[in-house]
Chains A and B, each alone.
Chain A
Amino acid sequence: MPLSAYLSLAAVLFSIGLFGVITRRNTVGILLGVELMLNAVNINFVAFSRFHGTALGMIFTLFAICITVAEIALGLALVILLFRMRRTSTADHIDWLKG
């Protein structure tokens, strides 16, 4: 399979993730979208790694997965805290940054 197929898959996955992040109102949904986008990047890394014949991309992907875990843990913790404080997990209601 050509590299473009992997990249296309990654692009589609990224777009779906982005779409989710933008349109989802639920904070958990947004986190899921972020996860999709991160994994799209991981696919890119792995694909390039495979086609360039170096292990660098793989290593980076492993790092990314680890960090994603941490990020999700932190993100969920934040969501829970927000829920405790504001009794909502809808992102639109959390507009403290509104000017």
Chain B
Amino acid sequence: MNPVTLAILALLLPAGAFLLIGVLAPLRRSGRPAAFLSIAAVATSLAAAIRTWQLASGSVEPIRAAWNWLPGANGPLATVGVLIDPQSSLMLILVTLVATLVQIYSLEYLHDEPPAAFGRYYAYHSLFVFSMMGVVLSPNLLQLFVCWELVGVCSYLLIGFWYRKPEAARAALKAFWTTKAGDVGLLIGIVLLYRLAGTWDILELEHMVKGGTLATAGLGVITFCLYLGAMGKSAQFPLHVWLPDAMEGPTPVSALIHAATMVTAGVYLLVRTEFLFHQTPQVLLLVGWIGGITALLAAIMACVQTDIKKVLAYSTVSQLGYMMTAVGAGFAGAGFLHLLTHGVFKALLFLGAGAVIHAVHSNEMHDMGGLFKRMPQVATVFIIGTLSLAGVPAFAGFISKEEVLGATLAGGLTGPFVMLLTGAFLTAFYMSKVVFLVFFAAPAAPGHAHGHTHDDGHHGHHGDPPFLMAGPLWILAIAAIVIGVYSTFFHHAEPEFASPGWLTPVAVAMGLAGIVGAYLTYQTRTISADTLASVFAPIRVAAVNKFWLDDLYLFIYRHILLAFARLIGWTDRYIVDGVLNVISAWTLDGGDALRRIQTGRVGDYIFAVAAGLLVLMLWMRGTL
């Protein structure tokens, strides 16, 4: 089959699954059959994606196919289609791979859900996979935006999957609004771009840029607007606030959407439109700095979290900052590489955390501890993920992180580079902290531990998870190692930039220092965590309070936006409508006053007639 057909097939299978599950209520309510349908669809998509990648990497030119979507007098205004090149097909594999594994994993993870909710879950998942693939394969920015919004909705629906929990409903709303705020920017950027370039087609735009036919005046505003969209979706400071809250969703959802795929869409957008950003260095500089700030701040916040998912969430924000910094430095390739490896190992970490949470029935790390003995498999894969994230050689994150750091330095972003380096230390530190606290250290609060040993008999599955959950974990772990080993030892791509020789040792040293620091603090307790906390007290307070950003947004929402809305509502009722009602009331009152004239007495009427007649006669006399 030709790659276009394959890509369309990959795209449409989950869409079909979604429609079937969504429309056929009995199928949805039956639960597991719906799940199997969804998994079959996405697994086939995975196969199609791999084949597409094989074909695409063989072809020099990107393969593009498009069909009319919106008509216009001078040719179609907008098209839909697919654009297949190595980038998109690699991303396609990542999306379908993680999605397949997550869906399989969810079969076990959401075992206790009622069948109807189960079906609903898989319907959302299918829609998500379809939309995400739409983003990835999109040949133009409009289609990208369309699918971009759809993944946003899937994220909203899946964060709010347990909608009965008020926190989940609130988190879903927060996620939607925050990303929507960014999307407003993206939409404006797309609209502006149409007037400037007359097209949204990525290849055509690239062609125009290369040929120098694209006006650069006003392009800065457009790229900035596009970046705003990426900022919301990829949780860049200061729009990152939604991602930690999004952890209210089921853990597999966090793994798929809020770690591996959807949140990287922003980075992907920038990677796709890299050539536009290169025309506007100021915006690129902004991207780099914001990326650096995001990476550092999120890493700091990750250090003070006690909820295992929150640690991972902030870690995701931080890593997205890394990717963005690389893009901002002008080397989108490095950012994209980190995107791919991060997708694998972060999904692994989330699914691992999910397995732990599934067993312990708590997100809090206090409630865990010493789990290595009870669930060695989960512990092993989680450690593999941690080592990848920490950037230890021979693991997936190593080379990509090196690339990001090198790119940042080569791009001349010294400030962000320092932030990233600090971030690398902190990353290793907080991830190791999680590993030590959860798997090795004795449970911090004995009372809790006792409570859970009591639970042991109650919940039968307090060991390693069953095959349906362990399988995906191992596949991702092996993938992380294979990618790591291959890229560390065998594959030496010609780098786009020259990195200084000291970079690798320093970066690795930072990672190892973080691990050792965490070991000393949380395993051997040589360094007291309390001492650390008091030394870094100001930063700690700020980090615990999330740098007061959430409070700021809440204030804006409650006391500025809603207050203003109330003012407008009041104005409408009491001024705009009020004036009208006052006029009507006056009319009625005037009628009331005039009514008195109507005495109902015959005499009065006749008197009025006579008087009128008299006046008329006098008037006529005057005129005659």
Bind each other:
yes
Residues on A facing B (Cβ under 8 Å): 18, 21-25, 30, 91-92, 94-99
* Chain A neighbourhood of B603, CB < 8 A: 21-25, 30, 91-92
8 Å CB contacts to A: which residues of B568-606?
595-603, 606
* Known interface pairs A30-B603, A97-B598; 16 further A-B residue pairs with C-beta atoms within 8 A, sorted by A's residue number: A18-B610, A21-B603, A21-B606, A23-B603, A30-B602, A91-B601, A91-B603, A92-B601, A92-B603, A95-B600, A96-B600, A97-B600, A98-B598, A98-B599, A99-B597, A99-B598
User: Is A99 within 8 A of B600, CB to CB?
Assistant: yes
User: Is B610 within 8 A of A22, CB to CB?
Assistant: yes
User: Is A22 within 8 A of B607, CB to CB?
Assistant: yes
Q: Give the 6 A-B residue pairs with the shortest CB-CB distance, closest first.
A: A95-B600, A98-B600, A99-B598, A99-B595, A97-B600, A22-B607
Complex Cα–Cα for A71 and B413 (A) = 110
Interchain pairs with CB closer than 8 A, number = 34
Least CB distance, A22 to chain B, in whole angstroms = 5
Complex Cα–Cα for A23 and B598 (A) = 17
Least CB distance, B61 to chain A, in whole angstroms = 88
B595 closest partner in A (C-beta): A99
B613 closest partner in A (C-beta): A18
Least CB distance, B180 to chain A, in whole angstroms = 59
Complex Cα–Cα for A96 and B607 (A) = 18
* Chain B neighbourhood of A30, CB < 8 A: 602-603
Residues on B facing A (Cβ under 8 Å): 595-603, 606-607, 610
* Chain B neighbourhood of A91, CB < 8 A: 601-603
* Chain B neighbourhood of A21, CB < 8 A: 603, 606
Complex Cα–Cα for A91 and B607 (A) = 14
Complex Cα–Cα for A63 and B313 (A) = 107
Task: Identify which of A92, A94, A99 gathers the most chain B CB atoms within 10 Å of its CB.
Answer: A99
* Chain B neighbourhood of A94, CB < 8 A: 600, 602
A34 closest partner in B (C-beta): B606
Complex Cα–Cα for A67 and B18 (A) = 90
* Chain A neighbourhood of B598, CB < 8 A: 97-99
Complex Cα–Cα for A69 and B610 (A) = 24
Least CB distance, A28 to chain B, in whole angstroms = 13
Least CB distance, A36 to chain B, in whole angstroms = 13
User: Is A99 within 8 A of B602, CB to CB?
Assistant: no
14 A-B pairs with CB atoms under 8 Å apart are A18-B606, A21-B603, A22-B603, A22-B606, A22-B607, A23-B603, A30-B602, A30-B603, A92-B601, A92-B603, A95-B599, A98-B598, A98-B600, A99-B598
Least CB distance, A8 to chain B, in whole angstroms = 16
Least CB distance, B601 to chain A, in whole angstroms = 5
Task: Identify which of A18, A22, A24, A95 gathers the most chain B CB atoms within 10 Å of its CB.
Answer: A22
* Chain A neighbourhood of B606, CB < 8 A: 18, 21-22
Complex Cα–Cα for A98 and B595 (A) = 8
* Chain B neighbourhood of A25, CB < 8 A: 603
* Chain B neighbourhood of A98, CB < 8 A: 598-600
Complex Cα–Cα for A96 and B601 (A) = 8
Complex Cα–Cα for A98 and B603 (A) = 13
B598 closest partner in A (C-beta): A99
Complex Cα–Cα for A23 and B596 (A) = 20
Complex Cα–Cα for A99 and B597 (A) = 8
Complex Cα–Cα for A21 and B606 (A) = 8
Complex Cα–Cα for A95 and B607 (A) = 15
Least CB distance, A85 to chain B, in whole angstroms = 16
* Chain A neighbourhood of B602, CB < 8 A: 30, 91, 94
